[in-house]
Amino acid sequence: MKIAVLSRDERHLIELSRQLRARPGSDEVDMIAGTAARLSTMADEAVPDLLVVDAPRADEGELDQLERLGHLFPRMAFIVLSEDLSQDFLLRAMRAGVREVLAARPAPADLVAAVDHVAEKLGSQGAAQGRVLAFISCKGGSGSTFLATNLAYALSAGGAKRVALIDMNLQFGDASLFVSDSKPLATLSDVATQIHRLDPSFLSSSMVSVTPNFSVLAAPSDPAHASDVKPEHIDAIIKLARRQYDFIVLDVGRSLDPVSVRALDHADTIYPVLQTTLPYIRDGKRLLGVFRNLEYGNDKVELIVNRHDNNSDIRLKDLEEAFDTTQLRTMPNHYDAAARSVNQGVPITRLAPDSQLSHALMAMARGLTGEAAPVQGAGLMARLFKRRKTDV
Ligand SMILES: Nc1ncnc2c1ncn2[C@@H]1O[C@H](COP(=O)(O)OP(=O)(O)OP(=O)(O)O)[C@@H](O)[C@H]1O
Ligand SMILES: [Mg+2]
């Protein structure tokens, strides 16, 4: 494991590093003299798995700096050593993403035990690689942007998963507006044209931050910039994003071209979105034919029937026959709630949590994250408390 120790006290820095190097295994331990502010421009390769922070001063904004670092490098774990072990400090540290807080001068065995605990947690997460989920319309207006953005939000809503959405509709993409009213300061084409600057901090600062653990990389604002984005840029961005986020949701739109195909190549799962009318079904079959030619296996492609209504002329059974599958996922039709959500730029699961459509999105998100359904009737405090206990 790669460990960095940060302290203003050089003697303590050396002592802590010595204790950590004595831990059995092949850790690489770096010493950094100074405060967390020094780390915000760290290159991707330099980001440690674990940062041990000696005596951060809350009154000098160092916990806020740690929180910012946590956003920049979401996969990095923190251990903080502090004289202040008050409830207030602990809560603030946990909010900043700190996993363990130890006394200022911990016994070497306690420090090593805390590092073992972090190593075990990181190990059980496997190689730190996020999952790429791509949404593509079988035909315009199927709801793929709506589902991609709202699923991405639902994946992040438990607070434990870091989620990025990348809008790949290079002409007229509007995904960021489905979940946020902030104007994007940068877009996918800005990242592409400055690809030599690509690192965690450049990627994260180019995105609209919807919530602390959900960000959106918007589509180019001017269709003329669509051609700035090349397949090799997609390779670099997705490779980096996989290390930074648990889920990378791609709104691929409906055009098949070298850039979108490259994005689909990277996807772990592709969700073609269709509705229950013949034009969608025809185009859906064509799209699946293209996927077969691209040698995407059946386990990579999962059709979603959006705006599903049990009273439709075409029954689910007919669709299953048409697509030769028994595994069609459906999303119910709820026009009012969807329209309000899109018009206000507020995710539907937040705006109308009781809608059947919100339930279906949350169930899909839970299937992907493995998180349990919230306890019915539990109050906000109880839920917060439950989350904190399991998070830390
Ligand atoms: N399950 C649903 N129930 C009711 N309305 C929905 C549902 N899903 C999406 N919609 C509505 O359909 C509209 C079109 O959706 P969206 O823009 O996501 O389609 P799209 O496939 O991304 O279209 P395009 O091909 O233009 O990118 C949305 O404005 C939303 O209000
Ligand atoms: Mg769209």
Fold agreement (2-124, 131-386): yes
Statement: residue 123 has pLDDT above 80: no
The CATH homologous superfamily for domain 131-386 is P-loop containing nucleotide triphosphate hydrolases (3.40.50.300)
For residue range 252-294, list pLDDT tens digits in order: 989 899 999 999 999 999 999 999 999 999 999 999 999 998 9
> Measured in whole angstroms, how far is the alpha carbon of residue 190 from the centre of its chain?
20
**Between residues 42 and 82, the one the model is more confident about:** 82
CA dihedral 58, 62, 65, 71 (to 10 degrees): -60
H or E, element range at 102: strand 100-103
- What band does 126 get if pLDDT is binned at 50, 70 and 90? low
Sketch the domain layout of the chain as residue ranges: 2-124, 131-386
Statement: residue 158 has pLDDT above 60: yes
Listed in sequence order, the residues at least 6 apart from 169 whose beta carbon sits closer than 8 Å to its beta carbon are: 145, 175, 219, 251, 252, 253
How remote is the CA of residue 148 from the centroid of ligand 2, in Å? 9
What DSSP state is assigned to residue 132? E
Whose tokens are 């904190």? That residue is 388
Statement: residue 12 has pLDDT above 80: yes
What's the chain's average pLDDT?
Answer: 89
d(C-alpha 383, C-alpha 123), whole Å: 27
The secondary structure of 150-163, three-state, reads: HHHHHHHCCCCCCE
Q: Read off the tokens for 247.
A: 């889920």
Question: Crossing angle, helix 335-344 and helix 356-369, to 10 degrees?
Answer: 70
Note the pLDDT of residue 44.
Answer: 72
Please, are residues 47 and 71 in contact by the beta-carbon 8 Å criterion?
A: no
Statement: residue 128 has pLDDT above 90: no
d(C-alpha 353, C-alpha 150), whole Å: 12
Note the pLDDT of residue 392.
Answer: 36
Statement: residue 385 has pLDDT above 50: no
Statement: residue 77 has pLDDT above 60: yes
Q: DSSP letter string over 278-333?
A: HHHHHHHHHHHHHHHHTT--GGGB--EEEEE-TTSSS-HHHHHHHTT-S--EEEE-
**Ligand 1 atom closest to the CA of 253, numbered from 1:** 27
d(C-alpha 191, C-alpha 170), whole Å: 13
* Cβ of residue 144 lying under 6 Å from some atom of ligand 1: yes
How remote is the CA of residue 168 from the centroid of ligand 2, in Å? 9
Verdict on whether the full-model pTM lies above 0.85: no
Give, for ligand 1, the residue of 145, 174, 356 to mutate: max count of ligand atoms closer than 8 Å to Cβ.
145
| 31, amino acid identity | M
CA angle 50, 51, 52 (to 5 degrees): 115
How remote is the CA of residue 145 from the centroid of ligand 1, in Å? 7
CATH 3.10.20.600 describes domain 2-124: no
Q: Read off the tokens for 267.
A: 């996807």
How remote is the CA of residue 141 from the centroid of ligand 1, in Å? 5
d(C-alpha 150, C-alpha 178), whole Å: 8
- What band does 355 get if pLDDT is binned at 50, 70 and 90? very high
* Cβ of residue 357 lying under 6 Å from some atom of ligand 1: yes
* Cβ of residue 142 lying under 6 Å from some atom of ligand 1: yes
d(C-alpha 263, C-alpha 273), whole Å: 16
Of 117-121, 242-246, 278-282, minimum mean pLDDT range: 117-121
